[in-house]
Chains A and B, each alone.
Chain A
Amino acid sequence: MAIINQATKELQVKIVYYGPAMGGKTTNLVQVHDHVQTAAGNKGKLVSLATSSDRTLFFDFLPIEAMSIKGFKTKFQLYTVPGQVIYNTTRQLVLRGVDGIVFVADSQYEKMAENVESFTNMEENLKTLKLNLADIPYVLQYNKRDLPNVAPVEYLEFLLNNREVQVPSFGSTAHRCEGVFETLNMITRMLLNKFIRQGTPQYA
């Protein structure tokens, strides 16, 4: 969970990008890394623990600092999980200490079953960590909207956002950086609002 260091006035928050394999989670982080506007020195290196064919093996990691928060040095740590089904143990590990989640769905029709499976898997993995999705801020990103065979947003909403409380969702074309910052800003706002409202994240 988030670390608040009152001594050094630092707030550290962990956001995990989750979703099916090849859905664009790593691309989101690459685009944030390439395009984020920062004051000097507050964008970290993007670290990818990937296979030789650029498939995420363990996680990608990008530390960045938001520009417009005063009073605390606010550091966001962005992680992705490996989407491939076989790496479930790794996904559980990366979710440890998560504060907010971006679920990156693949908008193509043929990927709908994988989207639903991945979403269910996310809920199950959170349960193993004694976490409940309803208690964690999360947003949905419907990626690859530029492809010809995409399902309508309404259909994706029906599959993934058909709940008592609907969460914000964004269409995106991550490789063109469309929808990437909108998604990141929304999950960040949700997290900060939760912290301010509850006043009880964790420690330090």
Chain B
Amino acid sequence: MATLPQLIEEDIERLDYELRELLEKTDASTALIIDKGGFLITSQGDSRQFDLTTIAALASGADMANQTIANLVHETNFNSVYQQGEKHSMFVLCIDEQCMLTVIFKASLSVGAIKYFSLPAAQHIALQLKIAQQRDPGSGLDLSELNLADTSDLFKRKG
């Protein structure tokens, strides 16, 4: 499975900037960049009223299911999915092989505008990920600050 490059602060700042721009242009509530394995990479907008960690896990699961359905109907890929609700709706757009952009917005907003502005945002995000990849394609990660205080009991049972 292909993997993302290691992102540094500059990358995250750029990704956050693109998400903020998208929210400003569309009036959407929240925008997320999600790894297709289920991890939330970064988000902007309202993070209080939504459980973004769980949304990331479920959205990636739904995306994987959609891609499988696409194959079954002889499509290579469903590039985007729109889920319409009564209060909030959600639009998911593939960024690249590893990531997807998810936008949560009030159902009263036009999905057309969300789609229109999400496409260039996804392209800019993909470009930044490419820059990160080219910067140091074989880079490992620095876990020097990781300190296992008590390896015998990482998770403790109550009581």
Contacts and interface: CB of A to CB of B under 8 A. Distances in A.
Interface of A: 1, 3-9, 11-12, 14, 32, 35-37, 44-45, 47, 49, 58-59, 61, 63-64, 66-72, 74-75, 77, 79, 89-90, 93-94, 96-98, 129-131, 177, 181, 184-185, 188-189, 192, 195-196, 198-204
B57 A181 contact: no
24 contacts: A1-B1, A1-B37, A3-B4, A4-B143, A5-B41, A6-B6, A11-B143, A14-B38, A36-B156, A37-B156, A49-B61, A69-B146, A69-B154, A77-B57, A89-B68, A181-B155, A181-B157, A185-B153, A185-B154, A192-B148, A192-B151, A199-B143, A200-B141, A203-B6
Contacts of A192: 146, 148, 151, 154
B135 to A, nearest CB: 12
B147 A70 contact: yes
Interface stretch (B7-15, B21-29, B85-93, B103-111): B7-15
A53 B153 CA distance: 35
Given A69-B154, A71-B146, 20 more contacts: A1-B1, A3-B39, A4-B143, A35-B159, A47-B54, A58-B61, A61-B54, A68-B154, A69-B146, A70-B147, A72-B146, A93-B68, A94-B61, A192-B151, A192-B154, A199-B142, A201-B141, A203-B3, A203-B141, A204-B4
B158 interface: yes
Nearest to A192: B148
B150 interface: yes
A49 to B, nearest CB: 8
Interface of B: 1, 3-9, 11-13, 35-41, 51, 53-54, 57-58, 61, 64-65, 68, 140-143, 145-159
A189 B154 contact: yes
Contact of B149 (A32, A47, A59, A69): A69
